[in-house]
C-alpha cells in the first residue's frame, strides 16, 4: 500500500514529486517523504501524515535540485512515524532509498550490518537497503545497487539516489510494480501510471529482475543477467480527468456514477450479435481448447471473489462446465493435485494482489491454463496470464471497489457466452444473452437514478450498529458485496448470508435495531426470498428490499419498510443492477457517519491494491485501455502497442 515517484531532468524535482505523490496517496497514506539531490548531497524531508502536510513542509523549506525520489507509505514494518517514513538513508546520508515490497531477510541483514558498524535509525526493512548499497562494491550507483540487491531475499520496487552520482536515479524491480515515464529530456519513475500522467503518457513497464538507470539524457534497462534490454513503450490511454474528482466529493461516488459508461466500455466491440457470441481477442482460448475444458477454478480476493461467485452461475449456466470459486489466499496454500482440463481464472481489479497472483501461479504449477480478468493494463497478473479480458473500466481510485465489480460481472458474462457458444449453447440463446448484455449499461443508468431514495434510507440507518444482507442464488454474492462495502467504509458490522441460511442461527440477531437488506429481484427464487422476509418481519426486523419494478410485488410491498426498485434484466445478469443501490447505500451511510470513504482506515488491499509480493513476467499487456473504448475488434490481453524509442536509450 505504498507509492513511489522519481524524477530526473532539468526542472525542479520537488514540485513534480510532491504532485506525483498526491496522485498516489490513495495507495498508502500514513506518512510521506522526499529526497532531492541538491548538488552537494541528498536532502530529505519526511513526516507522519498526508502528502498535503509534506507539501506545506517543502514549500516552507524548499528543496532545490533536478533529481529526486519520493514515497507515500502505508506502514508494514515499523510504526507510521516520521522516523520510519521513506526515504531512508545510509550512515553518511549520501544515499537515499524509497521502496515498496518486503525484505524478508531484513533481520539477518540488519544484524550483519550492525556488526559491521552501521547505525540504524528506523524500524523498517527498507533501511537495510541503504546500508547495503553504502557498503556495496562498484564504481557507479547502478553497480552498487546491483551488488546490494543480490543479497536481498524478498520483493522490491525501489528507487535510489546518491550524492556521489548526481543527476541519476537507479530503479530496480522484483515483485513490486515499477514503471518508467518517458519524457523529453526528463524521465520519471512510478509505482503507478497515475503519478506520471500529468507529464507523459509514454511508459515502460519494468519486468522482474530489471534494473534501470535514468539520467536527464537517457535511460537504459538491464535484465537479471545484466543484459541491456529494449523494453516496449506503451501509451496510457486514460486522461488526467480519470484520476481527478471532477466535481464529485469522493472518488467512490464518482466511480459508482461512472458505471453506466464503464460497463459499456467493458462490452464495447465484444458482442457479436449475429453469431450470438463474444469476441475476446486477448483470451487466447481457441475452440479446441474450450472443448477440452472440464472444470474451471476461479481465484480472487474480496470484491473480485464476489464477482467470481456470480461468474460461477454465469459460466455453469451458459457453458455447462463445473466451476469452483476459491479464495486466492486459501487456494495458494492448498494442495493442488494436477487436474488436466482445468481452466483457472484469476480475477483482480489491480492485477497485483499478491494472493491472487500466487494462486494463479499455483494453478499453473498444477497444470492449469490460466486466464485473467483484470482492470489495470500491464499489471502483473495480466502479464503472466496465458490470456484474458481487460475490463477497460478506468482507474479505480477509491479503495472500495465499485465499478470494477460490475465490469467484472459483465466480463464474466462475455466469457460465459463465448465458452457457451463453443460448448453447445444454441445460436438463439446466444443471441438473446448478447442482447441482454448490451442492455446492461442503460439499466445501470436507471439503477443510479435511485440515489435520492437511497439517501433517504441512509438517513434512517446511519445510526444502526449492525446490518444483515440476504440474497439467494446469483444474488447471494450481491448480499456479500453489499455487506463488504458497508463494513469497509462505514465501520458498521455487516454480514452477508444466503437468505435461507438465516434461520440456522443468525435469525437470533434480528430485532428492530437490525436492518436487514434483502436482494430480491423477481426471479425463480423470489417466492423463497419472500418467505425469508416473513421470518424477519415476524421478529420485528426492519427490511430494505432491492427488488425489480413491475407487477407481482404486492407481497414484498407489505413486508418491506423500504423498497428500491431496479429495472429487470436476465436473472443471471441481475447482480450488475442490484449491486448499484447497495453501493450507494454504503456510500451515503459512510458519509453520514463522517467516515473518510476514499481512505478508510486499515485499507490493506483496496481495489487498487499494491501487492505485498508480486512478480511480473512476459509483457503481454494491451496499451492503455481503461475508460476508453477498446480497439476495434474487441480488446483484451493482445499485444501492447510499441513505439519507437523516445529520446536516447
Residue 31 engages ligand M6R in binding (rule: CB under 6 A): no
> What residue ranges in 549-633 does DSSP mark as E strands?
562-566
Residue (311 or 605) nearer to ligand M6R, CB: 605
Residue 488 engages ligand M6R in binding (rule: CB under 6 A): yes
Written as nine digits, the cell of 18 is: 510532491
Give Cβ neighbours of residue 513 (< 8 Å, ≥ 6 apart). Answer: 464, 465, 466
Give Cβ neighbours of residue 527 (< 8 Å, ≥ 6 apart). Answer: none
Radius of gyration of the chain (CA): 25
Written as nine digits, the cell of 62 is: 524548499
Among 191, 356, 475, 579, binds ligand M6R (CB under 6 A): 356
Written as nine digits, the cell of 192 is: 503507478
Residue 350 engages ligand M6R in binding (rule: CB under 6 A): yes
Residue (399 or 545) nearer to ligand M6R, CB: 399
Phi, psi of 478 (to 5 degrees): -70, -35
Residue (306 or 622) nearer to ligand M6R, CB: 306
Distance CA 54, CA 486 (A): 31
Residue 567 engages ligand M6R in binding (rule: CB under 6 A): no
Among 84, 174, 259, 304, binds ligand M6R (CB under 6 A): 304
Residue (208 or 488) nearer to ligand M6R, CB: 488
Residue 262 engages ligand M6R in binding (rule: CB under 6 A): no
Residue 579 engages ligand M6R in binding (rule: CB under 6 A): no
Sheet holding 156-162, edge to edge: 88-89, 95-100, 156-162, 169-174, 211-214, 219-222, 228-229
Q: How many helices (H) and strands (E) does the chain have?
A: 19, 27
For the window 595-624, what string marks contact with ligand M6R as x by the rule CB under 6 A? ----------xxx-x---------------
For the CB of residue 587, give the shortest distance to ligand M6R in the complex, in Å.
12
Distance CA 453, CA 4 (A): 41
Residue (89 or 357) nearer to ligand M6R, CB: 357
Please report, as residue ranges, which positions from 360 to 399 form the binding site for ligand M6R (by CB under 6 A).
399
For the window 119-158, what string marks contact with ligand M6R as x by the rule CB under 6 A? ----------------------------------------
Written as nine digits, the cell of 194 is: 497515475
Distance CA 162, CA 68 (A): 10
Contact 188, 198 (CB under 8 A): no
Distance CA 120, CA 215 (A): 30
Residue (188 or 637) nearer to ligand M6R, CB: 637
Residue (266 or 356) nearer to ligand M6R, CB: 356
Strand partners, 88: 97
Residue 303 engages ligand M6R in binding (rule: CB under 6 A): yes
For the CB of residue 253, give the shortest distance to ligand M6R in the complex, in Å.
14
Residue 626 engages ligand M6R in binding (rule: CB under 6 A): no
> Which region, judged by CB under 6 A, interacts with ligand M6R, from 200-208, 297-305, 450-458, 573-581?
297-305
Q: Which residue has the cell 459508461?
A: 261
Total residues at interface with ligand M6R (CB under 6 A): 18
Closest CA to 583 of 351, 194, 250: 250
Residue 353 engages ligand M6R in binding (rule: CB under 6 A): yes
Give helix 106-115 / helix 127-135 axis angle, nearest 10°. Answer: 50
Please report, as residue ranges, which positions from 400 to 419 form the binding site for ligand M6R (by CB under 6 A).
400-401
Residue (206 or 489) nearer to ligand M6R, CB: 489
Written as nine digits, the cell of 248 is: 464529485
Q: Which residue has the cell 429481484?
A: 521
For the CB of residue 259, give the shortest distance to ligand M6R in the complex, in Å.
14
Which residues contribute to the site for ligand M6R (CB under 6 A)?
301-304, 348-350, 353, 356, 399-401, 484, 488, 605-607, 609
Amino acid at each position: 500500500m505504498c507509492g513511489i515517484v522519481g524524477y530526473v531532468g532539468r526542472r525542479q524535482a520537488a514540485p513534480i514529486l510532491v504532485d506525483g505523490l498526491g496522485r498516489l496517496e490513495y495507495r498508502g497514506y500514513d506518512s510521506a517523504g522526499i529526497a532531492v539531490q541538491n548538488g552537494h548531497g541528498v536532502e530529505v524531508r519526511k513526516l507522519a501524515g498526508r502528502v498535503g502536510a509534506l507539501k506545506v513542509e517543502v514549500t516552507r523549506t524548499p528543496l532545490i535540485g533536478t533529481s529526486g525520489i519520493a514515497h507515500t507509505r502505508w506502514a508494514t514494518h515499523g510504526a507510521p512515524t516520521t522516523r520510519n517514513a521513506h526515504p531512508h538513508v545510509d550512515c553518511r546520508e549520501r544515499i537515499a532509498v524509497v521502496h515498496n515490497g518486503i525484505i524478508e531477510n531484513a533481520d539477518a541483514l540488519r544484524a550483519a550490518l550492525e556488526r559491521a558498524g552501521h547505525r540504524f535509525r528506523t524500524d523498517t526493512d527498507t533501511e537495510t537497503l541503504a546500508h547495503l548499497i553504502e557498503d556495496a562494491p562498484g564504481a557507479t550507483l547502478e553497480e552498487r545497487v546491483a551488488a546490494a540487491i543480490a543479497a536481498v531475499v524478498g520483493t522490491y520496487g525501489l528507487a535510489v539516489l546518491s550524492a556521489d552520482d548526481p543527476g541519476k536515479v537507479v530503479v530496480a524491480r522484483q515483485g513490486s510494480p515499477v514503471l518508467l515515464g518517458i519524457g523529453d529530456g526528463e524521465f520519471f519513475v512510478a509505482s503507478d501510471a497515475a503519478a506520471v500522467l500529468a507529464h507523459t503518457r509514454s511508459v515502460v513497464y519494468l519486468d522482474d529482475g530489471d534494473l534501470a538507470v535514468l539520467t536527464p539524457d537517457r535511460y537504459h534497462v538491464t535484465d537479471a543477467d545484466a543484459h541491456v534490454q529494449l523494453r516496449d513503450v506503451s501509451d496510457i490511454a486514460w486522461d488526467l480527468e480519470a484520476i481527478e474528482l471532477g466535481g464529485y466529493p469522493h472518488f467512490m461516488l464518482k466511480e459508482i456514477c461512472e458505471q453506466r459508461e464503464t460497463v459499456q466500455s467493458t462490452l464495447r466491440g465484444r458482442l457479436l450479435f449475429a453469431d450470438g457470441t463474444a469476441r475476446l481477442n486477448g483470451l487466447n482460448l481457441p475452440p479446441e481448447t474450450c472443448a477440452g475444458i472440464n472444470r474451471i477454478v476461479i481465484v480472487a480476493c474480496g470484491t473480485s471473489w464476489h464477482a467470481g461467485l456470480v461468474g460461477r452461475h454465469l459460466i455453469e449456466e451458459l457453458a455447462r462446465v463445473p466451476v469452483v470459486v476459491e479464495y486466492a489466499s486459501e487456494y495458494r496454500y492448498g494442495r493442488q493435485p494436477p487436474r488436466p482440463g482445468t481452466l483457472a481464472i484469476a480475477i483482480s481489479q489491480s492485477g497485483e494482489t499478491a494472493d491472487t497472483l500466487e494462486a494463479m501461479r499455483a494453478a499453473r504449477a498444477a497444470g492449469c491454463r490460466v486466464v485473467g480478468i483484470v482492470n489495470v493494463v500491464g499489471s502483473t497478473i495480466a502479464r503472466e496470464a496465458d490470456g484474458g479480458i481487460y475490463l477497460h473500466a478506468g482507474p479505480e481510485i477509491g479503495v472500495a471497489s465499485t465499478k470494477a465489480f460490475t465490469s467484472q460481472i459483465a466480463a464474466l458474462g462475455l466469457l460465459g457466452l463465448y465458452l457457451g457458444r463453443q460448448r453447445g449453447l444454441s445460436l438463439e440463446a446466444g443471441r438473446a444473452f448478447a442482447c441482454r448484455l448490451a442492455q446492461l449499461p442503460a439499466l445501470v443508468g436507471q439503477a443510479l437514478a435511485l440515489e435520492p431514495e437511497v439517501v433517504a434510507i441512509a438517513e434512517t440507518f446511519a445510526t444502526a450498529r449492525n446490518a444483515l444482507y440476504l440474497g439467494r442464488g446469483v444474488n447471494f454474492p450481491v448480499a456479500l458485496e453489499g455487506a463488504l462495502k458497508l463494513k469497509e467504509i462505514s465501520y458498521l458490522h455487516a454480514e452477508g448470508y444466503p437468505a435461507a441460511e438465516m434461520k440456522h442461527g443468525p435469525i437470533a440477531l434480528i430485532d428492530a435495531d437490525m436492518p436487514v437488506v434483502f436482494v430480491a429481484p423477481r426471479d425463480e427464487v423470489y417466492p423463497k426470498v419472500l418467505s425469508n422476509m416473513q421470518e424477519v418481519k415476524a421478529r420485528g426486523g426492519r427490511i430494505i428490499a432491492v427488488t425489480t419494478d413491475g407487477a407481482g410485488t404486492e407481497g414484498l410491498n407489505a413486508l418491506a419498510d423500504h423498497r428500491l426498485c431496479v429495472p429487470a434484466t436476465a436473472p443471471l445478469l441481475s447482480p450488475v443492477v442490484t449491486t448499484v443501490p447497495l453501493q450507494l447505500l454504503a456510500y451515503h451511510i459512510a458519509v453520514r457517519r463522517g467516515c473518510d470513504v476514499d481512505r478508510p482506515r486499515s485499507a490493506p488491499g483496496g481495489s487498487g491494491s499494491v501487492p505485498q509480493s508480486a512478480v511480473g513476467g512476459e509483457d503481454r499487456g494491451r496499451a492503455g485501455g481503461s475508460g476508453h473504448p477498446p480497439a476495434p475488434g474487441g480488446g483484451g490481453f493482445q499485444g501492447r502497442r510499441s513505439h519507437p524509442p523516445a529520446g536516447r536509450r
